[in-house]
Amino acid sequence: MSACDNSPTLCRANNKTPALPREAYLPINRCNLPAVILGSPTYRDAPMPLKLDGVAELHADLFRRLDAAQAPAQRAEIFQDYMTVHFRLEQPEDAGYNATRGGRRGAHYISVLRGWSINADSREGAVLKGWVESRFGLTPRFHGEPLRDPSAPAYRHYLEMRAAGLYGTHALEAQLDLVYSYCQYELARAWPADAPLTLYRGVNRMDDFEQLGGDARRPRLLLNNLNSFTGQRERADEFGDVILTVEVPTPLIVCYCGLLPGALRGEDEYLVLGGVYDVTRSTL
């Protein structure tokens, strides 16, 4: 039985609803829906929760503690304390760091999110895009330059940056699993399950995007596997003359400004999984 047998609504495709392009996803991932579904435009119309394999079971004690806390600030403190203890983040020597030899301490989830906020094409950005590829099966389309050919130098450079970012860390991708799961937990407490978020992105060049259909005002775009948006249109104006508006189901949100104090700085930023989106395009 295929995934489409279980979710015929999500798998329905016609000339107006093209499937996710084959080169934009992997055949396997580590969540409860295949990438060809969660990256498709029909998923935006009929979303369902996404669960990363094993996270809820392995970290059941964390979520029990979160259930007992009423204030978001208290839950954020519980989460960060749990991450510090569970992943031994205050013992960098456990991950191979040696102060006498110098060198760089391994990254952790906060430093990766901060690095992304500064530059999505950085080493931290490569780690996050690689994590999305591993967990959700959506392949990166851009990292400093287009990633279309896995055998090309640009793709090899992305892989090198990803590997360098993961070296000497305390199970960094497992840390990011918990960030996503905690984000979904908080969104479920604060936001109606069937209500998407309206988010915005300011850009200067539409030619940088892969357009699959639609028209000039409402194009259908294949976005990178991870993207930054903002919840405030006036903030999007600061980043470009063209404003892209999208309706994003909450399961596609990885993290947002305010979830973890000090992680994503300002701009009401949201990290959003990619795939095929119908976008409303407007100009200043």
Residue 17 CA from chain centroid, whole number? 23
Residue type, 113: L
The more confident residue out of 264 and 72 is 72
Q: Indicate the residue among 156, 190, 224 that finishes a domain.
A: 190
Q: Indicate the residue among 146, 174, 190 that finishes a domain.
A: 190
Please tell me whether residues 186 and 61 are part of one structural domain: yes
Please tell me whether residues 182 and 205 are part of one structural domain: no
Could you list the residue range(s) of the whole structural domain that residue 161 is in? 55-190
Q: Show the tokens assigned to 195.
A: 């209500």
Mean pLDDT of 19-40: 96
Contacts of 238 (CB under 8 A, 6+ apart): 202
Residue type, 173: E
Q: Which among 26, 230, 209, 223 has a CA at the least distance from the CA of 130?
A: 26
Please tell me whether residues 67 and 150 are part of one structural domain: yes
Please tell me whether residues 251 and 224 are part of one structural domain: yes
Please tell me whether residues 116 and 169 are part of one structural domain: yes
For residue 50, with 0-12 CB atoms within 10 Å meaning exposed, 13-18 middle and 19 or more buried, which class applies?
A: buried
Residue 251 lies in a domain: yes
Can you tell me whether residue 248 is helix, strand or coil? strand
- Do 168 and 106 meet the contact criterion of CB atoms below 8 Å apart? yes
pLDDT in the model for residue 230: 95
Q: State how many domains the chain has.
A: 2
Please tell me whether residues 216 and 180 are part of one structural domain: no
Residue 23 lies in a domain: no
Please tell me whether residues 131 and 151 are part of one structural domain: yes
Q: What percent of the chain has pLDDT over 70?
A: 88
Residue 16 lies in a domain: no
pLDDT in the model for residue 133: 98
d(CA 49, CA 163): 30
- Computed over every residue of the chain, the mean pLDDT equals 89
d(CA 67, CA 78): 11
Please tell me whether residues 78 and 144 are part of one structural domain: yes
Question: Hey, how many other C-beta atoms are within 10 angstroms of the C-beta on 81?
Answer: 12
- Do 209 and 223 meet the contact criterion of CB atoms below 8 Å apart? yes
Phi, psi values for residue 138, rounded to 5°:
-90, 125
Q: Which among 137, 178, 144, 145 has a CA at the least distance from the CA of 273?
A: 137
Residue 5 lies in a domain: no
Please determine, for residue 11, whether its predicted confidence score (pLDDT) is greater than 60.
Answer: no
Residue 89 lies in a domain: yes
Rg of the chain in Å (alpha carbons) = 19
Q: Indicate the residue among 169, 190, 211 that finishes a domain.
A: 190
Question: Hey, how many other C-beta atoms are within 10 angstroms of the C-beta on 148?
Answer: 12
Per-residue CA distances from 149 to 35, 60, 74, 140, 157 (Å): 19, 40, 46, 11, 12
Mean pLDDT of 75-91: 95
Model confidence pTM above 0.85: yes
Please tell me whether residues 68 and 114 are part of one structural domain: yes
pLDDT in the model for residue 28: 96
Please tell me whether residues 114 and 206 are part of one structural domain: no
Please determine, for residue 96, whether its predicted confidence score (pLDDT) is greater than 80.
Answer: no
d(CA 136, CA 38): 8
Please tell me whether residues 211 and 154 are part of one structural domain: no
Residue 40 lies in a domain: no
Residue 126 lies in a domain: yes
Please tell me whether residues 101 and 216 are part of one structural domain: no
Q: How many helices (H) and strands (E) are present in the chain, helices listed first?
A: 12, 7
Q: Which of 96-105, 139-148, 166-175 has the weakest average pLDDT? A: 96-105
Residue 29 lies in a domain: no
